[in-house]
Amino acid sequence: MIRTNRAALTACALLMTAPAQANDKRDFEACDGRMHPGKQDDGMRGEASQPAYFQLRNQFGGNNVEACTRALASPRLLPQQTLRKAHLLRARAAAYLDDGKIDLAIADIDAAEAATAPLAQERFFQRSMGVSLTLLRALALAQSGRGGDAAPLVQSALDARPYALHIQEAGAQILDAARPLDAASPSPWNAVFRLEPDARWRALTSEAQRGNFAAVLDLAGGGTTPWPTEPLAPFAIAAQSADGNRFLLALIVSLHTAYAHTAMGYPALARQKLVEVREQAKRLVPAADPAIAVPGRGSQAELVTGFIDSRARQVEARIAIAEGRTSEVIAELVATPLPRDAATRDIMTALRKAVPAKDAALVPGDEQYLAAITAERQGDFGGLARRVLLAPETPRSVVDYERARPNILSALVGGALSLGTSLLGGIERTDGFRSTENPDGTVKVEFLGNTPSAAVVQEMTLLRAAELAKAAGKAGFVITDRADYTRTMRTMRGAVEISSAPAGFKTELTIRLIDSGATEVGAFDALTVIDALGPLYYEERKPAR
């Protein structure tokens, strides 16, 4: 529980300074990734290197707290540069969270919000820095065990950007990590599914890790397991290639589903799933070849087979308990212990109930399994601070969209909030946007933007999909697949990467258009999307010089 004097901590956050050095320009970049502030009104020079303080920690084993503290005390940071001050405080708060110093992180968040109070009602600030600070505070509360206090903050951030996948995913991760292990609660990923169909599999894995096997089966029934189509290269998994990662995802999802069938009383379906897993592994993973084996670990095929076998043992042990073969299970457990996870905890619970009362005490209790599961769940907070450091947005952030739709204002019928049937008549827009009809009747919509905000590009692409639906006379659409990319500008010194900054983002959506009255799960109503995003992206404005 956090019991601190908030005002004192806020003052402390501002006073934790080191003497400014003559050559302190690099402290700014080491703290939040941006250049030293110069004379600009807001001090926000350059685009933030990604991921700023995480690079510093990983490459040099240090912490950027000291750099942030020196930057905040530097005379280079002018009194009027309150946005940059908040940006620095936010970066230091994230570093504190990374170190588990919750009180100091909250003090910096308080200070950042106080510094930017005059901007609080500005809509671009609200959508970016405002949402970011709210999520960062929610993360601090969740990380300190106050998930109930964090939940409404997360929900307010999600409501502010319902069409930005990056933000929806970050919020779902916070809510998921903060949920009590044994409490029955709805999956926080439900709102993410319609933006990213593959999020279903991440949600399934999360539910399996917490032992919610009924939810695992519900999620498994909502999609086709995403196995790759072609055999993997020899080191695809070790190299974390796209196909290797997809194979691992499908493998883990399938094994979780197999155990969930067993736990819920469907042993035949569990065994059928295991057969499928082994067949897919045989099809996709090359046979063992000593020439391409990982030293000390074996070939890729051997590693995959060993992993499948260990999980299959859990399935067979749970089935044996249901069939009354408890002595076999006990003998097996003595010979080779099972992983300390939610499935093994479930096995032990079932075993205690199945053996005679006099022998129940001989079965290991929950403590060791709860400790391991809780530790794994706490690890879910790792990296979340980085995900909520959203790039500040300004009116310049939507210039790409305006250039791509040069005649939109003259083509509209009615105001921005009553956009209707004649949105696209005769308007040609090619800059940044592209749409392609696929042979199966779906449409691929993509947008490449130079804005530093991934969330803006994600919203632009969704808005374009809504426009295409209206142009085709359709009521809405369903996203069937998506891909998001980041273009980076890397600065190298010799063979060493010095910095990496975002130089643009791209989102690709594959959509299926639907008619009025269709009851598709996860469908978007085109007019609702246009009315929600139109006032921001259609408004006539002149870019700041």
Write the DSSP string, 160-198.
H-TT-HHHHHHHHHHHHHHS-TTS----TTHHHHTT-TT
Rounded average pLDDT over 165-177? 90
CB within 8 Å of 148: residues ≥ 6 apart: none
Instruction: Report residue 492's pLDDT band, with 50, 70 and 90 as the boundaries.
Output: low
Tokens of 62: 């240090």
Instruction: Please give the share of the chain, as a percent, with pLDDT higher than 70.
Output: 78
The token pair at 397 is 């952030």
Q: Where are the domains of the chain?
A: 1-120, 209-362, 395-537
User: How confident is residue 123, by pLDDT bands cut at 50, 70 and 90?
Assistant: confident
Higher pLDDT, 20 or 105: 105
User: 436 has which bridge partners?
Assistant: 444
pLDDT in the model for residue 542 = 44
- pLDDT of 94 strictly over 90: yes
**% of the chain with per-residue pLDDT over 90:** 39
pLDDT at position 396 over 80: no
Assess whether pLDDT exceeds 70 at residue 174: yes
Q: Over 90: is that where the pLDDT of 465 sits?
A: yes
pLDDT higher at 371 or 355: 355
Range from 46-60, 233-247, 297-311 carrying the lowest mean pLDDT: 46-60
Whether the CB-CB separation of 510 and 461 falls below 8 Å is answered with: no
**Residues 168/191, Cβ–Cβ less than 8 Å:** yes
Q: In terms of pLDDT, which residue wins out, 132 or 224?
A: 132
pLDDT band at 107 (very low <50, low <70, confident <90, very high): very high
279: confidence class by pLDDT, cuts 50, 70, 90? very high
Please give the pLDDT value at position 501.
Answer: 63
pLDDT at residue 273 tops 90: yes
What is the reported pLDDT for 372?
Answer: 75
- 427, pLDDT greater than 50: no
Is the pLDDT score of 150 beyond 70? yes
Q: What is the pLDDT of residue 430?
A: 43
Residue 405 confidence (pLDDT):
47
- Looking at every residue in the chain, the average pLDDT score rounds to 80
In tens, the pLDDT along 326-347 reads 888 888 887 888 888 899 999 9
Question: Based on the number of CB atoms within 10 Å of its own CB, is 302 exposed (0-12), middle (13-18) or buried (19 or more)?
Answer: middle
- Name residue 399's amino acid: V
Which residue has better confidence, 512 or 497?
Answer: 512
Q: Say which range, 202-206, 462-466, 527-531, has the weakest mean pLDDT.
A: 202-206
Q: What is the mean pLDDT of residues 63-83?
A: 91
Which residues contact residue 543 at a Cβ distance below 8 angstroms, ignoring those fewer than 6 apart?
395, 396, 399
Confidence label for 298 from pLDDT (cuts 50, 70 and 90): low
- Does pLDDT of 368 surpass 80? no
* pLDDT for the residue numbered 111: 97
Q: What are the percentages of helix, strand and coil residues in the chain, rounded to 5?
A: 55, 10, 35
Pairwise CA distance, residues 286 & 22, whole Å: 59
Q: Is the pLDDT of residue 19 over 60?
A: no
The H or E element spanning position 511 is strand 496-514
Confidence bin at 315 (pLDDT 50/70/90)? very high
Output 256 or 62, whichever has higher pLDDT: 256
Residue 14 has pLDDT above 70, yes or no: no
